[in-house]
Amino acid sequence: MLVKVFGSAVFGVDATTITVEVNTEKGIGYHLVGLPDSSIKESCFRIAAALKNNQLHFPGKKIIVNMAPADLRKEGSAYDLTIAVGILAASNQINSDDIKNYIIMGELSLDGSLQPIKGALPIAIKAREEGFKGFFLPKQNANEAAIVTGLDVYGIDNVKEIVAFFEGDNKLEPVTINTREEFYKTLDFPEFDFAEVRGQDSIKRCMEIAAAGGHNIILIGPPGSGKTMLAKRLPSILPPMTLKEALETTKIHSVAGKVRDAGLMNQRPFRAPHHSSSSVSLVGGGSYPQPGEISLAHNGVLFLDELPEFKREVLEVMRQPLEDREVTIARAKFTITYPSSFMLVASMNPSPGGYFNDPNAPVYSSANEMQKYLSKISGPLLDRIDIHIEVNPVPFEKLTENKPAESSLEIRKRVSKARALQTNRFESFNHIHYNAQMTTKQIREYCALDATSLALIKTAMEKLNLSARAYDRILKVSRTIADLENSESVQSHHIAEAIQYRSLDREGWLG
């Protein structure tokens, strides 16, 4: 008997429906075709044990399982339940009349219980698009898939539950989630707050400007000056995620198998990979491509602590994603594009020993050591970072004062107001939403300078020997400073402040 059951494969951040055809006939043997990987080939052992341990029968016949389309490689153990249901239906152990209306996915344990899968959200979106009635999957993924409305999502713990459902013995209730209620539940309760930071007012100002315009920023300071503490609090002043951004972000984390039971992500992600990370872990890829850290930071913050400690070749692969805000992974038979629109926050010591130009420094670095240390960061990469700022240690008096600091929510109000101005300004452009994304054309249009401002930036360009890209960065940051002041035009004091935020362009840093 021939039965068709439907599963799904995830490529990039989108799903493709897979038809699992199961045919049983006289004979002996189990044959699995359709470009399955080794974990799918091993499924027959898991399925046989799971069925036997739940008083179900693995038929002693010739079983042929075809996974179509046959030219598309399938990977992972999430097809266990799909194949198991197909075998049960093909051997007349369950009613197969209604199976064609459902997507069925799940990894089986030997006792018949189900393990969570990756990519539940994009699979659910594709199932709704193609008109499927419902989606069976492990209970751990049910909240994630239930974000999609118009699709009955059934979270199950054991293979017996789906057997009882198709036999009419068990009326499962679909999981329902009020997406908007979940989305707004914890939006205004940041885990880290700028109110906890003592002193560092100038750095907070930089962080506010960076958040308002979506600018990349690098913090340069000695150990213990608070670089990591400040970076962790940046997401708390970014504008709240829109529902569209939340869905985009959840989709990427779903593909990577990092969505928890909560379902929809409503806090901007903060990713902080270790400096020993490889280029594949950072940008994504692998034999079966998975999103990397830069995609997991989409709509949020990517923090690279101790930037010069990263391998130079690892940092260089970030240059194109920083410009294009997406990363394309090409293989011989397919090409996958992951979104990667993130804010880069990097930190570094000013020298190998951590103390630069400090006569009382406990560690002294020679000129050669300095050059070797700083040469790990290429000029083109630094040009893509809009704001360079020095972070100095906080004096003891500031650390012990009881004066309350401004909270993240108060800063966020100003940031959100500036972002709203930018949204209105760029509403006619499809891929530009804030100042950091401006192209040369928009810079010329929205950052027009008067004679005083032109003279000021000309002097800075000549003295600091800035590149054309650095010139554009200064104009973008100036536009953001003007937006925070609700100024229609970029003025000379906006330019002057933006020039101050190019520390690494000054003589004595990079030779």
What is the structure's pLDDT at 289? 83
Give the model confidence (pLDDT) of 449-496 as tens digits: 999 999 999 998 888 777 777 888 899 999 999 999 999 999 999 999
CA distance 369 to 374: 9
Residue 334 · residue 345 · CB < 8 Å: no
The residue ranges of the chain whose pLDDT is under 70 are 180, 182-190, 260-262, 353-367, 370, 505-511
Give the model confidence (pLDDT) of 160-184 as tens digits: 999 999 998 878 899 988 776 766 6
Write the DSSP string, 265-330: --S--EE---TT--HHHHHEETTTTEE-HHHHTTTSEEEESSGGGS-HHHHHTTHHHHHHSEEEEE
Write down the mean pLDDT value for the chain: 88
What are the structural domains, with CATH classification, of the chain? 2-177 (3.30.230.10), 194-505 (3.40.50.300)
Residue 456 · residue 449 · CB < 8 Å: no
What is the structure's pLDDT at 507? 47
Q: Closest by alpha carbon to 478, among 495, 492, 458, 466?
A: 495
What is the structure's pLDDT at 262? 62
One-letter amino acid identity for 222?
P
Q: Using the CB atoms, write b or e for 60-94: b if 16+ within 10 Å.
A: ebebbbbbeeeeebbbbbbbbbbbbbbbbbbbebb
What is the structure's pLDDT at 510? 46
What is the structure's pLDDT at 69? 94
Instruction: Supply 402's token pair.
Output: 């009881």
User: Cα 124 vs. chain centroid, distance in angstroms?
Assistant: 19
